[in-house]
Structure 1
Amino acid sequence: MTTARTTARPFGRTLCAMITPFTEEGALDPDGARKLATWLVAEGCDGLVLNGTTGESPTTTDAEKAELIAAVREAVGDGVSLVAGVGTADTRHTVELALAAEKAGADGVLVVTPYYSRPPQEAVEAHFRAVADASGLPVMLYDIPGRTGTRIEPETMIRLAAHPRIVAVKDCSYDLLGTLKVLAHTDLAYYAGCDEHVLALYAVGAAGCVSTVANAVPGRISAILDTFDAGETARATELQLRVTPLIEAMMGAGLPGTVTAKALLARLGLPAGPVRAPLLPAGRDTADGLLARHGELLAV
């Protein structure tokens, strides 16, 4: 069961907010990134978001960000969408990262609301327009007020939708009414940024998802959307509910998704490496619990 809206997928449908693999010494691991990206695509992802929150963008350098994009592009080729996180609290720096991402081979940029300074909506809008004007890449807005302290208000989204290069939204607003308002008044492609909302937003016209949990179970996330597209809505609901315990363990247990994703990937023998300070690694009990939830899901 598809809608006219779900056919507009500028960056694909099932995107993984990919972790950034590091070596045990804490350096960027481009070989690990190539291996992980290749596995994610083989298992069902048709797009990857690099250098986002889950990718530890606050603690990777500009050079590392560009190197990661180039390494993953080399691994997955041109048929997989690569969206590069470029958002910072500084408009000039964000523009610089957008231009660097374009040069490194990204297909689009993910731009978060400027944080800490808490700009008013007029300034938020000006920031996004400046980034969209600066490069030739399409832009995915990232609305996550729980981290930035500032919403992209629905009225601001509607105005920004008129910009030819602002084409999508990663929605972590936890404001379904606001999301529905923007969906009703624009052609913006919405991507669920919270794993518990994957099916719910898809059912009302989202283009897909940007999933952290997909780092560990890309096929299970993709299957939710495949099943809905096939018209099996009850089955799609069942699949969403089956993955919920793992979503809760990874995203709702008080630790950042980066920490839990890396802990689980390490247990699964996939490239991960340590997190960078100020984050701390998950403890043994947490990693054991994550592996148990993963095993229970795959056993069904």
Structure 2
Amino acid sequence: MTTTTPPRPRPFGRALCAMVTPFTAEGLLDLDGAQRLAERLVSEGCDGLVLSGTTGESPTTTDAEKSALVRAVAEAVGDRAAIVAGVGTADTRHSVELALDAEKAGAHGLLAVTPYYSKPPQDAVEAHFLTLADASGLPLALYDIPGRTGTRIEPETMLRLAGHPRIVAVKDCAYDLLGTQKVLARTDLAYYAGCDEYALALYAVGAAGYVSTVANVVPGLLRGVLDAFDAGDTGGAAHRQRRAVALIEAMMASGLPGSVTAKALLNSLGLPAGPVRAPLRPAGREVVDGLLAEYERLVAS
């Protein structure tokens, strides 16, 4: 006897790209480039775009730039993709201000990282996210990435936060598959793999999809992993995931941030990206050549 499990909520779609923030050669916000990149990503399979996240270099963009980016991308893609605005900061008041700005600018949802540097205890983490969820009418995704923030959203905290009607999703970069499954088993939170190498593994145990940096470069290939799995072709899904491993490793495990490697590849392919902002530095020629080699091997295979 076979049983079917009702599909989990997918408030922002399945295939989300953590989009880079294009800049001009002079380092200014490139809104035209952002619109062209967003259009390409959506046309090649992304049903959600995360703006001003880690890959979007949010620590070095101003509040006004963040709002302008949301407006420009919303104008470019309309309702063809969910626009999720990163509003996480180390300051609860500032995060609330960004959330309200994003709502006015046309975002469909919010993404908020755990407050960083101050290392708040779990009761303070919980209070921070509840304050943020109460501040606007938009659905909120929690961004659990302790490797950058220094603070985990512990599974028990996640279980309590899941009771808020506007806390609907998690971008999971905690590298804790057991903890993720515990929360999946006890809540309706939509989990999105935030680490490209985990995309299929989390999807197979009930995640809603992924938020991918590598999708800036190969959106269609990564979307194909989910499509194959949903069609019942689990072997094909695994094959597609394995095909992407070398590029994932080159972009995400080379010792450079994904924003640096993604922009290096996009620039080399003639796509909108531009420079990274200091303190980040552009990838060197040897790194760029290696990235291009992996990209070309992947698209040729």
Coarse TM-score class (shorter-chain normalised): over 0.9
Give the match for residue 160 of structure 2. Answer: 159
Partner of 1:63: 64
What is the CA-CA distance between 1:25 and the residue it aligns to? 0.1
Question: How many residues of Structure 1 are paired with residues of Structure 2 in the alignment?
Answer: 299
CA distance in 2, matches of 1:131, 1:191: 20
Partner amino acid, structure 1, of 2:50 = V
Residue 130 in 1 paired to residue 131 in 2?
yes
SS state of the match for residue 16, structure 2?
A: strand
TM-score (norm 1): 0.98
SS at match of 2:244: helix
Counterparts of residues 132-281 of structure 1 (less than 5 Å): 132-281=133-282
Counterpart for residue 75 of structure 1:
76
Residues 75-102 of structure 1: CA distance to partner in whole angstroms, max 9, x if unpaired? 0012310000000000000000000000
| 1:34-60, Cα deviation, whole Å (9 max, x unpaired) | 000000000100000000000000000
1:76–1:3 CA distance, 2 compared to 1 (3 A)? farther
Measured in 2, the distance between the counterparts of 1:160 and 1:249 equals 35
Check the 8 A contact 2:70/2:102 in 1, yes or no: yes
AA partner of residue 260 (structure 1)? T
For the 8 Å contact 2:50–2:85, the answer to whether it is kept is: yes
In the aligned structure 2, how far is the partner of 1:81 from the partner of 1:138? 11
Q: Percent same amino acid at aligned positions?
A: 74
Unpaired runs of 5+ in structure 1?
Answer: none
1:177–1:5 distance in 2 versus 1, CA, 3 Å = farther
- Could you tell me whether the CA contact under 8 Å between 1:15 and 1:210 is conserved in 2? yes
Question: Whole-Å Cα distance in 1 between the matches of residues 166 and 5 of structure 2?
Answer: 20
| TM-aligned CA deviation for residue 22 of structure 1 | 0.1
Compared with structure 1, are the counterparts of its residues 251 and 5 closer, same or farther at alpha carbon in structure 2 (3 Å cutoff)? farther
Runs ≥4 residues deviating over 3 A? 2-7
Distance between the aligned counterparts of 2:78 and 2:41, measured in 1?
13
| CA shift in 2, pair 1:24/1:18, >3 Å | same
Contact conserved, 1:6 with 1:206, CA < 8 A, in 2? no
Compared CA separation, residues 5 and 45, structure 1 to 2 (3 A): farther
Separation in 2, partners of 1:143, 1:202: 17
**CA–CA distance in structure 1, aligned partners of residues 84 and 4 of structure 2:** 24
Residue 7 of structure 1: CA displacement? 4.3
| Alpha-carbon distance in 2 for matches of 1:55, 1:5 | 34
Q: Which residue in the other structure is 1:293 paired with?
A: 294
Aligned to 2:118: 117
**104 and 276 in structure 1: CA distance in 2 versus 1, 3 angstrom threshold:** same
Any idea what SS the aligned residue of 1:26 has? coil
Counterparts of 2:4 and 2:101 in 1: how far apart (Å)?
Answer: 35
Shift of residue 261, structure 1, vs aligned partner: 0.1
Q: Secondary structure at the match of 1:96?
A: helix
Give, in angstroms, the shift of residue 183 of structure 1.
0.3
Structure 2 CA distance for aligned equivalents of residues 3 and 104 of structure 1: 40
Whole-Å Cα distance in 1 between the matches of residues 192 and 91 of structure 2? 25
**CA offsets, 1:101-152, max 9 Å, x none?**
0000000000100000000000000000000000000000000000000000
Counterpart-to-counterpart distance in 2, 1:271 and 1:285: 21
Task: Output the CA distance in 2 between the equivalents of 1:197 and 1:102.
Answer: 30
Change (3 A) 1:6 1:296: farther
Shift of 1:8: 1.3
Give the CA deviation at 1:23: 0.1
1:106 aligns with 2:111: no
